[in-house]
Amino acid sequence: MQLKQTQDALHKWHHMVATRDMDYLNELLADNVVFRSPVAFHPYEGKAVVQFILSNVIQVFENFTYHREFLTENAQSVVLEFSANVGEKKLKGIDMIQFNEQGQIVDFEVMIRPKSGLEALAAEMGQRIKQFQPA
């Protein structure tokens, strides 16, 4: 049964990213979701901050495209390979997403290369994360 919940969640995720309409995000994130940033040592915990990060990063990325998708045997984790631009810097990366049994994201880890693309993303997101005010 887990496969169906994960596939439904991934379908919503891809639609949300493609349209840049973040309406599904609240539904997709578990209350106890953890976000592991490629530039921060400590993870961000909780729905409010993760929703803020993901809603902003979709604005920062230009020409964002997913290329490949890998699903674990238990259908609870997926790896999504992507590319994007931040200004004139190009980057490639992966999203490693773990879902709970309800199809909600409980862990979201991002890895990005090369360093120049990561630094451009860190600069843009650093300015935005300073504005985060938890509800």
Quick one: CA torsion of 19, 99, 6, 81, rounded to 10 degrees? Answer: 60
Please give the Cα distance from 99 to 127 (Å, whole number).
29
Please give the Cα distance from 100 to 5 (Å, whole number).
9
Task: Count how many domains the chain has.
Answer: 1
Pairing of strands 77-86, 29-36: unpaired
* Residue labelled with tokens 């493609």: 18
For residue 57 the two structure tokens come to: 């990063």
Strand partners, 83: 65, 92
Read off the pTM.
0.93
Domain coverage including residue 42? 2-129
* 44 belongs to a structural domain: yes
* 19 belongs to a structural domain: yes
* 54 belongs to a structural domain: yes
Look up the CATH number of the domain holding residue 107: 3.10.450.50
* 83 belongs to a structural domain: yes
Q: Give Cα 2 to chain centroid, integer Å.
A: 20
Give, for all 135 residues of the chain, the pLDDT tens digit. 578 999 999 999 999 999 999 999 999 999 999 999 999 899 999 999 999 999 999 999 999 999 999 999 999 999 999 999 999 999 999 999 999 999 999 999 999 999 999 999 999 999 998 888 776
Quick one: CA torsion of 105, 67, 22, 114, rounded to 10 degrees? Answer: 90
* 135 belongs to a structural domain: no
